[in-house]
Amino acid sequence: MREARLFTMSTIIVGVQLVVLLLFVLKGANLLQFTFDQFYMVYNAISDLYASINPYLLWIFSDSLRKYILQRFGLAKANKTITSVTPMTFVV
């Protein structure tokens, strides 16, 4: 399960990187008919997405962080574990 989540996170990050690379390749090959201003706006939007994707992925895929955040916002109750200790008696 953890490996599947890690693979999904990595795939999303690599996918965003490939979109940025593809954007540069298409612009370099003059296949995109963007003006410089349009290209800069698209690139800026994608780079902002790439820069901020890691915290969002951490929120989505980390069970402990998600539980903590939900508890802090009052949307989930804290689970308190109570451990009882049974006294031992020694017979001599």
pLDDT digits (tens, 9 = 90+) for 36-69: 888 888 888 888 877 888 777 777 778 887 788 7
Say if CB 50 and CB 16 are below 8 A apart: yes
Note the pLDDT of residue 81: 64
The yes-or-no verdict on residue 71 having pLDDT over 80 is yes
Burial of 40 (0-12, 13-18, 19+ CB in 10 A): exposed
CA distance 47 to 40: 10
Say if CB 61 and CB 8 are below 8 A apart: yes
CA distance 9 to 45: 20
Confidence of residue 79 (pLDDT cuts 50, 70, 90): low
> Cβ–Cβ contacts within 10 Å for residue 42, how many?
15
The mean pLDDT value of the chain amounts to 79
Helix (H) or strand (E) holding 8: helix 2-28
- Mean pLDDT value across residues 18-25: 83
Note the pLDDT of residue 80: 63
CA distance 73 to 66: 11
The yes-or-no verdict on residue 82 having pLDDT over 70 is no
